[in-house]
Amino acid sequence: MTKIRLAVSLLIIAALYAGTASAQNKKFYIFLCFGQSNMEGNARIQPQDTTVDPRLRVLETVDCPNLKRNKGNWYTAVPPLARCYTGLTPADYFGRTLIASLPHDITVGIVNVSVAGCKIELFQEDSYKTYAATAPSWMVNMINEYGGNPYGRLVEMAKLAQRDGIIKGILLHQGESNPNDSLWTQKVKSIYDRLIKDLHLKARKVPLLAGELVNEDQGGKCAAMNKVINQLPEVIRNSYVINSAGCPAAPDKLHFTAEGYRMLGTRYGLQMLNLLGYKPKDSANAVPVQVTGGGR
């Protein structure tokens, strides 16, 4: 009797596994995004940003009654793509750039967990609790929207996304709160390595794309940090740095304007298209972009 029960249990498990596997769409490309305010999205969303191809999806990472979106569900990626009241982010035009050039049977999904003003330590396993405990109240409110653990929420949502599609890359924009931090690349590596492990990914198949901060040519207050960011491919082999030169800055010289986000997001997208083995169909988008990076 015991053997029969064991056999039945194994059959049930096998059936459940098969059902899960069959539900996963290999033509649904998932991209994880994290960072601080520029990845969260700081610029006001404009009318031209609200028309979105339904092939571009966003997995809501918090409950947003104002948007009629619930945590853990997919929606057409009409901004905001981070939390309920955030702005335009590079992820918006990253996704649009991919959709414009990928085959029509491929869908793109964005999973964005970002916290304005945070140091990279907020996403590290051994430091996020201490960091959150000393964060200003306005940041604590954002952290609490992610259950007090933004990295944990990113992994939670990424695992949900993996039921539907394949994680193809990770996008990062962070650094303004870690100015001239010579250990920043190592801290990013610890987060990247942990994501790869926690989500059972292969590093050679999942590149990390990190954007530069507001560039020196735009008077960026933290432009010096770009020298550190550009060292990332020396630490993470499959990583690429997206140049921000010429991307217009907001008056605070810390954030980008809406146009700046569109330009930077497009550059993220062009780099990812290249890594996926596709060329941009719109020749207007095929403007040479200086990108530094490692390889597979």
Q: How do residues 104-135 score in pLDDT, each as one tens digit? A: 999 999 999 999 999 999 999 999 999 999 99
135, part of any domain: yes
**Whole-number Å distance between alpha carbons of 47 and 137:** 32
17, part of any domain: no
Domain of 114, in residue numbers: 26-293
Q: Which one, of 273, 279, 270, 245, lies nearest residue 260 by Cα? A: 245
% of the chain beyond a pLDDT of 90: 86
The alpha carbon of 287 is separated from its chain's Cα centroid by a whole number of angstroms, namely 23
**Whole-number Å distance between alpha carbons of 59 and 111:** 5
152, part of any domain: yes
105, part of any domain: yes
Per DSSP, helices labelled H in 146-209 are: 150-162, 184-198
CB 76 within 8 A of CB 68: no
14, part of any domain: no
Burial level of 236, CB count in 10 A (0-12/13-18/19+)?
buried
How does residue 23 score in pLDDT terms, banded at 50, 70 and 90?
A: confident
**Beta carbons within 8 Å of 9's beta carbon, 6+ residues apart:** none
Digit-coded pLDDT (tens) for 219-258 = 999 999 999 999 999 999 999 999 999 999 999 999 999 9
ω into residue 136 within 30 of 0, thus cis? no
Long-range Cβ contact pairs of 123-131 (< 8 A, separation 24 or more) = 123/34, 123/150, 123/151, 123/154, 123/191, 124/151, 124/187, 124/190, 124/191, 125/151, 125/190, 125/194
pLDDT at 18 over 90: no
pLDDT at 4 over 90: no
Indicate the residue type of 78: V
- Give the chain's domain count: 1
pLDDT at 287 over 90: no
Digit-coded pLDDT (tens) for 45-83 = 999 999 999 999 999 999 999 999 999 999 999 999 999
Digit-coded pLDDT (tens) for 80-110 = 999 999 999 999 999 999 999 999 999 999 9
**Whole-number Å distance between alpha carbons of 248 and 134:** 33
Q: Find the largest Cα–Cα distance for the chain.
A: 76
* pLDDT average, residue stretch 180-199: 98
Give the DSSP per-residue string, 240-286: EEEP-TT--B-TTSSSB-HHHHHHHHHHHHHHHHHHHT---SSGGG-
Indicate the residue type of 153: R
Which residues form the catalytic set?
37, 252, 255
59, part of any domain: yes
Q: Which residue has the higher pLDDT, 288 or 219?
A: 219
**Beta carbons within 8 Å of 270's beta carbon, 6+ residues apart:** 97, 280, 285, 286, 289
* pLDDT average, residue stretch 205-226: 98
CATH number of domain containing 248: 3.40.50.1110
241, part of any domain: yes
Claim: this prediction has a pTM higher than 0.75:
yes
246, part of any domain: yes
